[in-house]
Amino acid sequence: MERYQLIKPQKRKDRPKRTLEHVLGIPYYVLLITLIVIPILMMVLYSIQTERPAGVFTIKFTFEHYWSFFSEPLFVRVMIQSIYLAALSTVLTLIIGYPLAYIIARSRPRTQILLILLISAPMWINMLLRTRALQQVFEMTFPHLLGSDFAIIFGMTYIFLPFMVLPIYTVLNKIDPNLYESAADLGATRFQTIVRVIIPLSLSGILSGIMMVFLPAATTLVVPRYLGQGRFLIGNLIENAMIQQGRFGYGSAIAIVLSLLIMGLLYMIKRTDKYQGVNTLEES
């Protein structure tokens, strides 16, 4: 009986906290359902319905939109090319962004603030303006490169580089500095410390950066339009189907196919996180 009386007040103290957490989480769940769940369900519904005249409400399920997409070799080739260019841009941003994030994380606090400010400053400017400015640079220096894969990859790397640097820097900045000294005391060189200690611990930041770069790069509209001289990638294909042709079902089917492919690729990438970087950082 005494034990029950000691435990019972503890449960009463926990209830207000849990209730407060549930109340504070209501706006998040409302936004999640309104802005993410409902639009995705509408896209799925559009993709499996037949095209109907305006003002006529009929529901007839079909997979003709998916079949129309896969039956056109040109459209499938456009999707493969979009994923290919996005993957190359992601790899390039990782090659540039990881050393840059490492240098920033190892700098003095005041220097870190300045460097992070310089990295994030371009994000304050509209992406269309940055892309058009980059187009002007190409026209003044190497106009023959406009419309090539190089120009598109260069533009994606320039625009999405901060999205790779910032998550990696955040993880690297949380690593205990004593780990560097411990690795040196055990005879590891700086390169061995980075490869065997730092990279495994920062793998969660690398995966976050890959997702933040690869997803928008695969569906971007601005870069192929201006740096690719109007080249038709998957984002432009969706825009053309839904806005210019009014084929919402066809555009939704393309978007869903692309989303499934990207989720599959990201799942395979996520499985490489054998070190569980987040848990390791929390434990350290």
| pLDDT at 2 (0 to 100) | 46
42-83 per-position pLDDT tens digit: 888 888 887 665 444 456 777 888 888 888 888 888 888 888
| pLDDT at 189 (0 to 100) | 82
- Mean pLDDT along residues 181-209: 85
SS3 assignment, position 61: strand
Domain ranges of the chain: 75-283
227-242 per-position pLDDT tens digit: 988 777 888 788 777 7
Give CA–CA dist 265/276, Å, rounded. 19
**pTM, 2 dp:** 0.76
DSSP 108: -
Residue among 220, 208, 82, 226 nearest 156 (CA): 220
Fold category of 75-283 in CATH: MetI-like fold (1.10.3720)
